[in-house]
């Protein structure tokens, strides 16, 4: 038996017309799906009416007013990455709160040089606490000043903390 006798020729007319749209649909899905997945892992700012305060049992420090102090405000974006996990919000490398997606908190701190950051919530006994996360920003807080920060998640860089100019 020779290869010529098998009639393995290919032409577009040998494919039934009903299969072309299905193939085109599959190609489109294969091109678009990865982009949607990557976009789904990036976070976005919650609408003000959707932001909820961190519950008191997860506010662990810096809640008492300080005469002559300043305030640090933090919001965590909404997104798929780490959506079921709390993150530790740190002030001067001390856990100040365990914060979930779409939550916000305010902290009363003395003025001066401060370090704000995020890390793994070590009180979590699930898979979420098994990773490694350590992001910090050095800030200078003045008396009576409020500085705003935003916890974001991105497909490329993972979690981050950013100054939130309001």
* Cα 164 from Cα 15, distance rounded (Å): 56
Dihedral-angle region of residue 92 (phi above 0 means left; psi in -120 to 50 means alpha; beta otherwise): left
**pTM for the whole structure:** 0.73
Which stretch of DSSP H or E encloses residue 166? none
Domains of the chain, residue spans: 1-166
| Full pLDDT tens readout for the chain, 166 residues | 555 555 554 455 555 555 556 666 566 565 555 544 444 456 778 788 889 999 999 999 999 999 999 999 999 998 776 667 899 999 999 999 999 999 999 999 999 999 999 999 888 777 666 777 899 999 999 999 999 999 998 877 888 999 998 7
Distance, CA of 142 to CA of 113 (rounded, Å): 9
């Amino acid at each position: 038996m020779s290869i010529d006798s098998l009639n393995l020729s290919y032409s577009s007319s040998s494919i039934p017309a009903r299969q072309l749209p299905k193939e085109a649909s599959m190609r489109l899905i294969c091109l678009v799906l990865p982009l949607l997945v990557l976009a789904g892992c990036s976070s976005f700012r919650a609408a003000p009416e959707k932001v909820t305060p961190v519950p008191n049992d997860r506010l662990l420090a810096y809640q008492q007013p300080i005469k002559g102090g300043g305030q640090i405000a933090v919001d965590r974006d909404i997104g798929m990455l780490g959506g079921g996990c709390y993150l530790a919000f740190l002030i001067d490398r001390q856990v100040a709160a365990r914060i979930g997606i779409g939550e916000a908190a305010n902290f009363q701190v003395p003025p001066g040089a401060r370090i704000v950051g995020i890390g793994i919530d070590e009180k979590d006994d699930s898979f979420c606490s098994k990773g490694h996360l350590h992001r910090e920003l050095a800030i200078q807080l003045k008396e009576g000043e409020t500085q705003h920060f935003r916890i974001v998640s991105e497909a490329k860089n993972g979690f981050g903390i950013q100054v939130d100019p309001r």
